[in-house]
Amino acid sequence: MKKTFIGLAAAGAMLLTLAGCAGGGDTTAGSSEGPKPVDELVVGFAQVGAESGWRTANTTDIQAAFKDAGIELKFSDAQQKQENQIKAIRSYIQQGVDVIAFSPVVETGWDAVLNEAKAAGIPVVLTDRAVDSQDDSLYVSFLGSDFVEEGKKAGDWVVEEYKDSTDPVKIIQLEGTTGAAPAIDRAEGFADVIAADDKFEVVASQTGDFTRAGGKQVTEALLKSNPDVDLIYAHNDDMALGAIEAIEAAGLTPGVDIKIVSVDAVKDGMQALADGKINFIVECSPLLGKQLVQIVEQINNGETPEKRIITEETTFDQEQAVAALPDRQY
Ligand code: GZL
């Protein structure tokens, strides 16, 4: 699935428009007016929802970063519904904000509203998740993780963990929100790596929508039809934590009878990892606030931000989780 990024020329043209805009909207006084005072900037942020510990940490970090920068942040929670995010973006356009930022709940269906923002001369920044658009003039920058790489890191751990096993390794995959970039890409990266050996078999794969309740429900159902599963690959910690509840309810020991590999490394996931109920977690940092503020300030100054900014992140085994927990920010 091709994800494209803005050509620098188009980005530059959009930035010049903003630098002259009096608060976004349709007044384009050209770049002669220079940047607006930071305390007059207004940014509209359309958040996915509050579905997971990761999302809550992401929201908290972004709100704190804009408060510290003295930049007004208008915030909306779409409750994981694309139509609500589109409504919020349209509202920000109407209000004539200076920059719109959002984390697209799913990859497709954004061209119309992003073209409306472009027509209004309001630059758009993607945070966290990507859109799958053929039109590379619709956003200035995309700040977030490489989810394919995260899936590969999870797969690498599984291949290493079972390198001496000659028996089949049966895997249940708990997918994130259907159509969301992290769900699509984490599945792709993981599948690419475990394809190296046909002893690995994904016997079932189903969405738990990135929620703890979803992870528990799906795991309960899939354990009934796959009682001999060896490992669960969860696209996020919240679904892994739900799977732990289901595994324990089935009288089995998570991390031992059924191993679990997950993504995010939020505090509750790291605690389960330290407790031996999860075996490995690939970090996905939600701390995007400061970098998003920097992108907004660059836009305001008529500079061209990087079109793709990949967040830095690592991985944790059980021992590393014990050591890292005391200092975890989220
Ligand atoms: C990843 C983010 C995902 C997290 C989930 O960047 O979009 O959404 O992995 C969250 O926990 O719900």
Protein residue with least CA distance to atom 3, ligand 1? 182
Q: How many CB atoms lie within 10 A of CB 29?
A: 11
Give me the count of residues in the chain: 330
Q: How do beta strands 315-317 and 280-283 pair?
A: antiparallel
Q: 147-284 domain in CATH 3.40.50.2300?
A: yes
What is the C-alpha R_g of the chain? 21
| Average pLDDT, 10 consecutive residues per value, the chain (330 residues) | 43 44 34 83 98 97 98 98 98 98 98 98 97 92 98 98 97 98 98 97 98 98 97 98 98 98 98 98 98 98 96 97 93
With a 6 A CB cut-off, is 51 part of the ligand 1 pocket? yes
Pair 151, 187: CB distance under 8 Å: yes
**Which residue from 62, 235, 284 has its CB within 8 A of the most atoms of ligand 1, so it is best to mutate?**
284
- Whole-number Å distance, alpha carbon 226 to ligand 1 midpoint, is 27
- Whole-number Å distance, alpha carbon 35 to ligand 1 midpoint, is 34
With a 6 A CB cut-off, is 189 part of the ligand 1 pocket? no
Task: Write down the pTM of the prediction.
Answer: 0.90
Q: Which part of the chain is CATH 3.40.50.2300? A: 2-144+286-312, 147-284
Q: Order the strands of the 42-47 sheet from edge to edge.
A: 72-77, 42-47, 99-102, 124-127, 141-144, 308-310
- Whole-number Å distance, alpha carbon 236 to ligand 1 midpoint, is 7
With a 6 A CB cut-off, is 145 part of the ligand 1 pocket? yes
Give the model's pLDDT for residue 34: 87
With a 6 A CB cut-off, is 284 part of the ligand 1 pocket? yes
According to CATH, the topology of domain 2-144+286-312 is Rossmann fold (3.40.50)
With a 6 A CB cut-off, is 175 part of the ligand 1 pocket? no
Angle at 39 between CA 38 and CA 43, to 5 degrees: 75
**Which residue from 149, 186, 210 has its CB within 8 A of the most atoms of ligand 1, so it is best to mutate?**
210
Question: CA torsion sign, 60 to 288 to 143 to 39?
Answer: positive
Nearest to 108 by CA among 145, 127, 82, 89: 82
- Whole-number Å distance, alpha carbon 182 to ligand 1 midpoint, is 7
Give the model's pLDDT for residue 3: 52
